[in-house]
Structure 1
Amino acid sequence: MMWSLLLWTLAGTSGSFALETIWNPTRKAAYFNGDVHEAIMKNKTASFYSLCQRPVFFGNQPLRVDAQRVREFIGRTGEFKCNNIDLYSFKSHAELGSPTGEGSSSWGWEYAGRDFAIIAQSDGAAFAEILPSGELDYLGRLPRTQGAAASIWREIRVSGNIAVIGSEASNHHIQFFDLTKLLTITPAQKPKTFDPTTDASIFGGLPTGRTHNVVVNPDLPYVVSVGSAPRTSQFGAGLVFIDIRDPANPTLMGYQAQDGYVHDAQCLLYRGPDARFQGKDICYGYNEDTLTIYDVTNKANATIISRTSYTGASYTHQGWVLDPNDQRFLVLDDEYDEYDMAGLAKDGFPVTYIWDISDLTKPVLTGHYKSSVKGIDHNQYVANGKSYQSNYGAGLRILDVSSIPSDPTGAGVREIGFFDIYPEDDNATGGGIVDFVGTWSSYGLYKSGWILINTIERGAYVVKYTGN
């Protein structure tokens, strides 16, 4: 293996801290065989179980927050600390039809000026409409695949009008649901429980029916399973490509297993500055210890363009390109560096890593942003110069990342709004705790400006950034 090191002195920390961009890293056995991922899942499960024993866990109770918009500037909205964000509505997981009362992923769907939310829960997916008033109107749900156990690891994406739902539960497989069915639900039918056998199709080609995540390309009719089990299968828990031109009959297109387990990815038609890849289908993979970039134009023969790691890499979890029409930079979150007290995150304050991907063969770590509240960063999605981050107990954090192209050190990145979803840790040192509590995901990509927050133990919130 060839190692190349590039040192950068990064702004935004006390003193200086050198990070290494490590090209072609040697993969550690603990990542390759799944020990690291298994340890994280065990720690999460322990945290979730602990939550179930506490009074805070009221996802299975009919708690309501007044749906009338609560104004705030800098202060508190009810019990939740926040800034520049208005709360419009809330529904507990029980009100969203879940007996288990546990939430995880979320995604949105826009149709003819209407905004819909797909809310992942351990026992299925809830469907709701965000009304013009901001009220969350519960429409119904799609239960988990018959014969599959409940699992909080349920991930959702949308391709066109199709909801794509994956789960870590064995024999769940990947569900495909036509969201236009929501348009014909009458008031008398609400909430409607759909039949997972007759109202959804499945892709049953994964070895055990498990996938950690699902990924879509917004421009092309295919889905990617990432993190399927077991790692020893032909797929290697890597990228598994599924043709959904006929969503009722999804079929295998190919797979890419050379870098092993992929935890999450973003796939886009390439419109960036690297002329060698113009118009190609590119996937940016977050592979536990590396940012791995793939050319997946040929699904039967997808190839790796580059594998890159960095100082303090504990669990390269997820990331997002700043601009899909430019693709010069992306931001990346590491889920375990705070927990491991590694690198820049050794003090427990979440770090967002900034990457220059102008040369897809040699991505360069150019800078970082460090949160002011302790916690763990989990997922982030970027639109119009804003990164919408779900930082577990620290809640939704909105970052202005528009300065990165002109200053890739991250010195110009700033937090412009937050909604702290877990008040139980507000008085802790650093303003929060390093634990798997609070918000799993948020979806801030609606053109209307609504933001959906899905939490593990409480329910789903609709908020809006005020910009004040």
Structure 2
Amino acid sequence: MKRYNFLILLVGVLLFVSCSSSPEEEIPKTNKKPCENGMAGIFPCENYDLLLHIPLSTFGASDGSDCWGWTDLTTNKEYAIMGVFNGTVFVDITDTENPVYLGKLPTATVGKYWWDVKVYNNYAFIVSEADNHGMQVFDLTKLRNVTNPPTTFTADTRYTGFGSAHNMVINQNSGYAYPVGTSKSGTYKGGPLFINIQNPLAPTSEGGWGTDNYSHDAQVVTYTGPDSDYTGKEILIGSNENEVVIVDITDKANPKNISKISYANVGYTHQGWFTEGQKYFILGDEYDERNFGGNTRTIIFDFSDLDNPKQHFTYNGPTQAIDHNGYVKGNTFYLANYTAGVRFIDIANIESKSISEIGYFDTYPENNGANFNGVWSVYPYFNSGKIVVSDINRGLFVIKKQ
């Protein structure tokens, strides 16, 4: 009997130790797998290694969406931020061999497939197409002192001047946030709202712009490009379903249309990004591959003269996958290409109408078809060279160029 009691006690101690172990030690993850002979584990690749993969199950979520990143300039730590069906998750990826899933900021209302997050002044600004969600504002410095991860976070404030939004744009230079796709029937027809976030905990509405079509996505810059007529102005480039629009929004009370441009075989004008000199604008159309066939099509515009934009040329990728979000860093265009993963395109010779793929990492090895699986977005702006990738089906990836 005494031996039996001892065994019960021993089992109890072991169970206690197991349940009390640090949560970060239990993260189901795949650590570094170099890209060798075209594969990194099960993932096709070229010139880019896998540093980390954390599945959606770790986050208690069924679907992934947008991603972004934050570098804590006080500690130099790097954090991945990713939208999932029921909220936003935060992961310390400073050491990808020992990542820490710090926790989740739950949805303000209900779950939804569409989330978008951007960062300004150590705060994350989060929108969703979830009903009446508004904009959550979260102080990222809280991530420095999470004692028992993963934790459930709360927003520091919530702006409810709109209900749902498809996307979020922030101009770091001006301190304004621009939710887009807030409502097709609202005051601004789904165009961008102007929200002053210079005090992140007290967002203030300053109107909006809605004289054209619904804005699906946008980029807003303080203009430094070649058109001297607009130097120093705050310029919005809107991807507006069937065209690209250019608007001067310097005076929030009096935004001014500059010009607009469309192109052949419009499926759905989805998202675009300036090259670093703000001369060229690289656009993706989300429905053209499905509606018209052919391989991934990327359209490059010459915006040397904002009053007279011109189509420069078209680049066709190696697969039939749909293009989604794309960003520029230096001479590389980072393209989230759904089932074809992330594609890395050298744009050094964009002026000569010659750009070319220099690598890829395919998080969806099943196929490269024109369907809505695989990579949603990519964040390439860490100084370390780490690249965050959000996959709809498989969760969070961190990769890096060889």
Structure-1-length-normalised TM-score: 0.78
Aligned length: 375
Q: Distance in 1 between matches of 2:45 and 2:28?
A: 19
1:66 corresponds to 2:35 = no
Q: Does the CA contact (< 8 Å) of 2:188 and 2:211 recur in 1?
A: no
- Give the equivalent residue in structure 2 for 1:339: 290
Q: Does the CA contact (< 8 Å) of 2:117 and 2:125 recur in 1?
A: yes
Where do 5+ consecutive residues of structure 2 fail to align? 1-25
Q: Distance in 2 between matches of 1:302 and 1:202?
A: 26
Aligned partner (choices 76, 89, 105) of residue 126 of structure 1: 89
Q: Distance in 1 between matches of 2:262 and 2:302?
A: 13
- Give the equivalent residue in structure 2 for 1:459: 395
- Give the equivalent residue in structure 2 for 1:270: 223
Q: Does the residue aligned with 1:265 lie in a helix, a strand or coil?
A: strand
Q: Distance in 1 between matches of 2:67 and 2:156?
A: 18
Q: Does the residue aligned with 1:423 lie in a helix, a strand or coil?
A: coil
> Aligned letter for 1:257?
G
- Give the equivalent residue in structure 1 for 2:204: 251
1:365 corresponds to 2:319 = no
Aligned-pair distance for 1:214?
Answer: 0.6
Q: Does the residue aligned with 2:366 lie in a helix, a strand or coil?
A: helix
- Give the equivalent residue in structure 2 for 1:240: 193
Q: Deviations over 1:56-98 (max 9, x none)?
A: xxxxxx994531x222244211111111010111111121x33
1:313–1:464 Cα change, 3 Å: same
Q: Does the CA contact (< 8 Å) of 2:339 and 2:369 recur in 1?
A: yes
Q: Equivalences for 1:95-134 in 2 at 5 Å?
A: 95=58, 97-98=59-60, 100-112=61-73, 113-133=76-96
Aligned partner (choices 203, 211, 215) of residue 159 of structure 2: 203
Q: Distance in 2 between matches of 1:260 and 1:178?
A: 33
1:306 corresponds to 2:267 = no
Aligned partner (choices 267, 289, 300) of residue 242 of structure 2: 289
1:335–1:63 Cα change, 3 Å: farther
Q: Distance in 2 between matches of 1:459 and 1:446?
A: 19
Q: Deviations over 1:153-204 (max 9, x none)?
A: 0111111211110001111111111111111212xx2112112xxx321111
Q: Distance in 2 between matches of 1:138 and 1:402?
A: 37
- Give the equivalent residue in structure 2 for 1:319: 272
Aligned partner (choices 365, 386, 395) of residue 423 of structure 1: 365
- Give the equivalent residue in structure 1 for 2:153: 194
Aligned partner (choices 346, 349, 353) of residue 400 of structure 1: 346
> Relative contact order, CA 8 A, sep 6+: which one is greater?
1
Q: Distance in 1 between matches of 2:68 and 2:261?
A: 29
Q: Does the residue aligned with 1:424 lie in a helix, a strand or coil?
A: coil
- Give the equivalent residue in structure 1 for 2:49: 86
Q: Does the CA contact (< 8 Å) of 1:134 and 1:462 recur in 2?
A: no
Q: Distance in 2 between matches of 1:290 and 1:261?
A: 10
Aligned-pair distance for 1:260?
Answer: 2.7
Aligned partner (choices 311, 316, 320) of residue 374 of structure 1: 320
> Aligned letter for 2:53?
F
Aligned-pair distance for 1:455?
Answer: 0.7
Q: Distance in 2 between matches of 1:64 and 1:435?
A: 28
Q: Distance in 2 between matches of 1:193 and 1:233?
A: 33
Structure-2-length-normalised TM-score: 0.91
Q: Distance in 1 between matches of 2:35 and 2:138?
A: 38
Aligned-pair distance for 1:222?
Answer: 1.1
- Give the equivalent residue in structure 1 for 2:371: 435
In our comparison, the structure showing a higher alpha carbon Rg is 2
1:164–1:90 Cα change, 3 Å: same
Aligned-pair distance for 1:133?
Answer: 4.2
- Give the equivalent residue in structure 2 for 1:34: none
Q: Does the residue aligned with 2:30 lie in a helix, a strand or coil?
A: coil
Aligned-pair distance for 1:330?
Answer: 1.3
Aligned partner (choices 166, 175, 184) of residue 212 of structure 1: 166
Aligned-pair distance for 1:135?
Answer: 4.5
Q: Deviations over 1:397-430 (max 9, x none)?
A: 111111113x1x2xx21111101111111xxxxx
Aligned-pair distance for 1:104?
Answer: 0.3
1:161 corresponds to 2:122 = yes
Q: Distance in 1 between matches of 2:37 and 2:116?
A: 33
Aligned-pair distance for 1:313?
Answer: 1.3
Q: Does the residue aligned with 2:259 lie in a helix, a strand or coil?
A: strand
Q: Equivalences for 1:219-234 in 2 at 5 Å?
A: 219-229=173-183, 231-234=184-187
Q: Distance in 2 between matches of 1:397 and 1:335?
A: 16
1:330 corresponds to 2:286 = no
Q: Does the residue aligned with 1:331 lie in a helix, a strand or coil?
A: strand
Q: Distance in 1 between matches of 2:118 and 2:44?
A: 29
> Aligned letter for 2:332?
K
Aligned-pair distance for 1:329?
Answer: 0.7
Q: Distance in 2 between matches of 1:293 and 1:232?
A: 22
> Aligned letter for 1:200?
D
Q: Does the CA contact (< 8 Å) of 1:91 and 1:136 recur in 2?
A: no
> Aligned letter for 2:283?
L
Aligned-pair distance for 1:134?
Answer: 5.3
Aligned-pair distance for 1:115?
Answer: 1.1
Q: Distance in 2 between matches of 1:383 and 1:134?
A: 25
Q: Deviations over 1:92-144 (max 9, x none)?
A: 1121x33x321000001111222111110010000011123455321111101
Aligned partner (choices 106, 123, 136) of residue 99 of structure 2: 136
- Give the equivalent residue in structure 2 for 1:448: 384
1:63–1:109 Cα change, 3 Å: closer
RMSD over aligned CA atoms reads 1.4
Q: Does the residue aligned with 1:220 lie in a helix, a strand or coil?
A: coil
Q: Does the CA contact (< 8 Å) of 1:135 and 1:462 recur in 2?
A: no
Q: Deviations over 1:245-293 (max 9, x none)?
A: 2222211111110013101011110001111101000011100111101
> Aligned letter for 1:168?
E
